[in-house]
């Protein structure tokens, strides 16, 4: 259903009337852009908090998942999932039962089918919040980092991820990407984005951060983080720097285990802290904690999410941050390893957290906090301190004045031509050329018109419309080449390699999309076998740029890195290979030698350009 002007006016009036009746906050002029921690606003918010029941106060601390495309009428399968996991039927019942202060969207929870549906879901959530005993709008959040972590897919604009932007090195591009992404999220009713990633990725073996980081140089990362924060927040949404105090040097995934960071206090200050300091200086609205142990920062070896020395001592007191602190998801093993699910939310609040994100069992977590307040373990004043920060943020975002969005606003903002064109231009400036033997690239349509595209087709992030091989081949077809796609997988078998070799016969060049190649990976065998045919082979690392270190001796003629396999980055890489764009990306991380990991094969800042470059006519 399209909201006509009269309908939107009614919704806005309802929101303003309800919020004004409860707080008077809606009457404040310009709160979306003005600072909101002044005495007058705080006084009004404190009067609102004083009228809330204890159950409502506890609920405001939680941000929860919920299944379904609609706040009140989800599909039956989603109703069943909600009942099984949360004990409610839908988002509206979740809000009325637990008074949650926020909801997080996931594609796998069927929250993000298409732009109009997302907008309607957001409106339904806000209506449910304003229908409560104390009318309160909600913070609607998601992880829209771009690159390999994206919850809202096409037709929304998909932009290069963090490491790609790091390769581009442009703070202007980083800010533009944040502004575009923020504007589109705001149009969908999503007002808190868990981005950018402020981790400094100094460990090539990092299984959870990697290309989600801008790079390995703390100052470069700090500058890009600040630029993205300003871009997102200029669009009227809350930005979130993550994962404090820094998740960049680990070989353990905090989703499945508890990583330990062995940096000294001095190393932390030099390597991990600068991007978070920059985010604070840029006015970051929220900071997300990491489920990691840093003994040099807290000898108790509690996860940072549960560490008062880290969250209060360092983040609040040393860095001077007084915004919203949100946990990483509480269902991750990193935070559940040491304590049970009923203790984790209590300890997080005692450590200095404000928002408790996505606990595995909301009933257990919610009642644990409620009982801790009733018993005096957590003071009600401590809870109110966090609620005040959360309500300040909601006020800053203008949610007390008008939390609703319209289909017309969606159509004017999401996936519009100017945004898509900007994404393409930015992506072209991130593609990195690492090797170009004999100046094979750019591929001429005269001598290399007939192409074979093979390689890995990993599970697709939301920013893709098909397998990478198909996307790359399609991009070359649009550029006037003949291109055949053949998926060989991340671990090609001997039979699949033989099939690829047979398919290469008669082709002018082969493009191989590689994905996290190791010394023992059969992807190496694939590249070697294809090179042995005499057909020129171009490798494109579609995730981590470290693949080239393990491809030495395989005979490939050229190698590039795209830092992700989303459509925008793969299409840009195809244009670079074809000479429709110049390779401008520079490595934001070093690539170490496979046979001597302490030595750099390619240093930070490395990247080739074409010796002579004249873009061919289309």
pLDDT at 11 over 60: no
Residues 131-146, mean pLDDT to the nearest whole number: 96
What's the pLDDT at 371?
A: 98
User: How many C-beta neighbours within 10 Å does residue 438 have?
Assistant: 8
Instruction: Please give the Cα distance from 56 to 98 (Å, whole number).
Output: 7
pLDDT digits (tens, 9 = 90+) for 182-218: 999 999 999 999 999 999 999 988 888 999 999 999 9
Residues 371-383, mean pLDDT to the nearest whole number: 98
Instruction: Please give the Cα distance from 211 to 213 (Å, whole number).
Output: 5
Name the nearest CA neighbour of 284 among 312, 313, 250, 326: 326
pLDDT digits (tens, 9 = 90+) for 306-352: 999 999 999 999 999 999 999 999 999 889 989 999 999 999 999 99
All residues at 6 or more sequence positions from 146 whose CB lies less than 8 Å from its CB, including other chains: 158, 159, 160, 161, 162, 177, 181, 195, 463, 566
3-state DSSP: the chain helix, strand, coil percent, rounded to 5? 45, 10, 45
What's the pLDDT at 412?
A: 98
Instruction: Let me know if 272 is a catalytic residue.
Output: no
Instruction: Quickly state the pLDDT bin for 463 (edges 50, 70, 90).
Output: low
Gap between the terminal Cα atoms of the chain? 42
What percent of the chain has pLDDT above 70? Answer: 92
What's the pLDDT at 13?
A: 41
Rg (CA), the chain: 25
pLDDT digits (tens, 9 = 90+) for 384-420: 999 999 999 999 999 999 999 999 999 999 999 999 9
pLDDT at 22 over 90: no
Of residues 13 and 301, more confidence is placed in 301
Give the 3-state DSSP-derived string for 256-297, with helices as H, strands as E and coil as C.
CCCCECCCCHHHHHHHHHHHHHHHHHCCCCEEEECCCECCCC
Domain 5-413: give its CATH code: 3.20.20.300
CA separation, residue 29 to residues 11, 25, 397, 398 (Å)? 19, 9, 12, 10
What's the pLDDT at 254?
A: 84
pLDDT averaged over the chain? 92
Strands 450-455 and 509-514: parallel
Residue tagged active-site, from 42, 116, 255, 341: 255
Beta bridge partners of 240: 286
CA separation, residue 15 to residues 201, 459, 535 (Å)? 43, 41, 65
pLDDT at 585 over 90: yes
Residues 523-533, mean pLDDT to the nearest whole number: 97
Residues 592-596, mean pLDDT to the nearest whole number: 89
Instruction: Let me know if 328 is a catalytic residue.
Output: yes
Instruction: Please give the Cα distance from 72 to 83 (Å, whole number).
Output: 14
Instruction: Please give the Cα distance from 287 to 244 (Å, whole number).
Output: 7
Alpha-helical segments (H) within 434-540? 468-478, 494-504, 522-531
CA separation, residue 606 to residues 11, 388, 439, 560, 609 (Å)? 54, 47, 17, 12, 10
Beta bridge partners of 125: none
Residues 365-377, mean pLDDT to the nearest whole number: 98
Instruction: Please give the Cα distance from 11 to 560 (Å, whole number).
Output: 51
CB burial class (10 A; 0-12, 13-18, 19+) of residue 361? middle
Of residues 28 and 179, more confidence is placed in 179
pLDDT at 4 over 90: no
What's the pLDDT at 598?
A: 85
What's the pLDDT at 520?
A: 93
Of 68-72, 137-141, 250-254, 601-605, the least confident: 250-254
Say whether 139 sits in a helix, a strand or coil. Answer: strand
Instruction: Please give the Cα distance from 301 to 309 (Å, whole number).
Output: 11
pLDDT at 486 over 90: yes
For 496, the token pair is 């699949």
Instruction: Please give the Cα distance from 38 to 23 (Å, whole number).
Output: 15
Residue tagged active-site, from 249, 328, 402, 508: 328
Of 91-95, 114-118, 251-255, 393-397, the least confident: 251-255
User: What is the strand order of the sheet 558-561 is part of?
Assistant: 432-436, 558-561, 537-541, 509-514, 450-455, 482-487
Domain 431-602: give its CATH code: 3.40.50.1700
Say whether 343 sits in a helix, a strand or coil. Answer: coil
Q: What element of type H or E holds 346?
A: helix 344-351
Phi, psi at 453, each rounded to 5°: -115, 120
Instruction: Quickly state the pLDDT bin for 26 (edges 50, 70, 90).
Output: very low
Instruction: Please give the Cα distance from 467 to 280 (Å, whole number).
Output: 39
For 504, the token pair is 């290469």
User: How many C-beta neighbours within 10 Å does residue 318 have?
Assistant: 13
All residues at 6 or more sequence positions from 598 whose CB lies less than 8 Å from its CB, including other chains: 592
Say whether 243 sits in a helix, a strand or coil. Answer: strand
Phi, psi at 255, each rounded to 5°: -70, -30
Domain ranges of the chain: 5-413, 431-602
What does DSSP assign to residue 509? E
What's the pLDDT at 7?
A: 35
CA separation, residue 496 to residues 182, 451, 500, 508 (Å)? 43, 18, 6, 20
Beta bridge partners of 483: 451
- pTM value? 0.92
Name the nearest CA neighbour of 394 among 120, 144, 67, 23: 23
Instruction: Please give the Cα distance from 405 to 190 (Å, whole number).
Output: 10
Name the nearest CA neighbour of 236 among 30, 412, 415: 30
């Amino acid at each position: 259903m399209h909201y006509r002007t009269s309908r939107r006016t009614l919704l806005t009036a309802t929101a303003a009337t309800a919020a004004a009746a409860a707080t008077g906050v809606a009457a404040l002029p310009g709160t979306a852009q003005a600072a909101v921690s002044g005495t007058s606003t705080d006084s009004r918010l404190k009067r609102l908090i004083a009228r809330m029941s204890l159950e409502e106060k506890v609920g405001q601390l939680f941000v929860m998942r919920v299944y379904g495309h609609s706040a009140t009428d989800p599909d039956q399968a989603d109703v069943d999932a909600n009942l099984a996991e949360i004990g409610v039927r839908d988002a509206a019942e979740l809000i009325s039962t637990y008074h949650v202060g926020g909801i997080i969207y996931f594609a796998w929870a069927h929250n993000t089918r298409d732009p109009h549906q997302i907008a309607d879901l957001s409106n339904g959530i806000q209506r449910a919040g304003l229908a409560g005993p104390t009318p309160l709008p909600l913070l609607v959040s998601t992880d829209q980092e771009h690159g390999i972590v994206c919850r809202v897919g096409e037709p929304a604009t998909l932009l290069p991820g963090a490491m790609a932007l790091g390769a581009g090195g442009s703070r202007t591009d980083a800010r533009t990407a944040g502004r575009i992404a923020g504007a589109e999220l705001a149009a969908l009713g999503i007002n808190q984005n868990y981005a950018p990633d402020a981790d400094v990725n100094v460990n090539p073996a990092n299984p959870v951060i990697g290309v989600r980081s801008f790079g390995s140089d703390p100052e470069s990362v700090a500058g890009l983080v600040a630029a993205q924060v300003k871009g997102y927040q200029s669009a009227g949404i809350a930005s979130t720097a993550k994962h404090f105090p820094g998740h960049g040097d680990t070989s353990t995934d905090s989703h499945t285990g508890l990583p330990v960071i062995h940096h000294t206090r001095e190393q932390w200050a030099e390597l991990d802290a600068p991007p978070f300091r920059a985010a604070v200086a840029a006015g970051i609205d929220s900071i997300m904690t990491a489920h990691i142990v840093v003994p040099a920062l807290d000898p108790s070896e509690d996860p940072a999410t549960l560490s008062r020395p880290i969250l209060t001592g360092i983040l609040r007191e040393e860095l001077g941050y007084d915004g919203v602190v949100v946990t990483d998801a509480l269902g991750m093993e990193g935070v559940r390893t040491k304590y049970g699910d009923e203790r984790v939310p209590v300890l997080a609040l005692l450590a200095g957290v404000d928002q408790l994100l996505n606990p595995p069992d909301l009933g257990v977590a919610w009642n644990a906090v409620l009982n801790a307040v009733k018993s005096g373990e957590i003071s009600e004043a401590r809870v109110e301190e966090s609620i005040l920060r959360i309500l300040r943020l909601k006020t800053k975002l203008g949610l007390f004045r008008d939390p609703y969005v319209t289909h017309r606003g969606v159509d004017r903002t999401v996936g519009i031509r100017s945004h898509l064109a900007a994404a393409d231009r930015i992506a072209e400036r991130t593609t990195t050329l690492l090797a170009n033997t004999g100046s094979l690239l750019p591929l001429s349509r005269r001598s290399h018109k007939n192409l074979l595209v093979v390689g890995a087709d990993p599970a697709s992030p939301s920013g893709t419309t098909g397998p990478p091989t198909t996307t790359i081949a399609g991009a070359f077809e649009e550029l006037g080449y003949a291109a055949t796609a053949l998926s060989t997988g991340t671990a090609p078998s001997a039979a699949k390699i033989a099939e690829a070799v047979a398919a290469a016969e008669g082709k002018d060049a082969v493009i191989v999309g590689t994905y996290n190649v190791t010394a023992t990976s059969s992807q190496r065998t694939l590249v070697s076998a294809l090179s042995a045919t005499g057909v020129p082979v171009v490798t494109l690392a579609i995730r981590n740029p470290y693949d080239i270190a393990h491809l030495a001796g395989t005979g490939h003629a050229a190698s590039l890195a795209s830092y992700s396999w989303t459509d925008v980055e793969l299409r840009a890489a195809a244009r670079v290979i074809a000479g429709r764009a110049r390779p401008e990306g520079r490595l934001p991380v070093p690539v170490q030698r496979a046979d001597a990991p302490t030595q750099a094969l390619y240093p930070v800042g490395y990247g080739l350009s074409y010796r002579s470059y004249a873009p061919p006519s289309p």
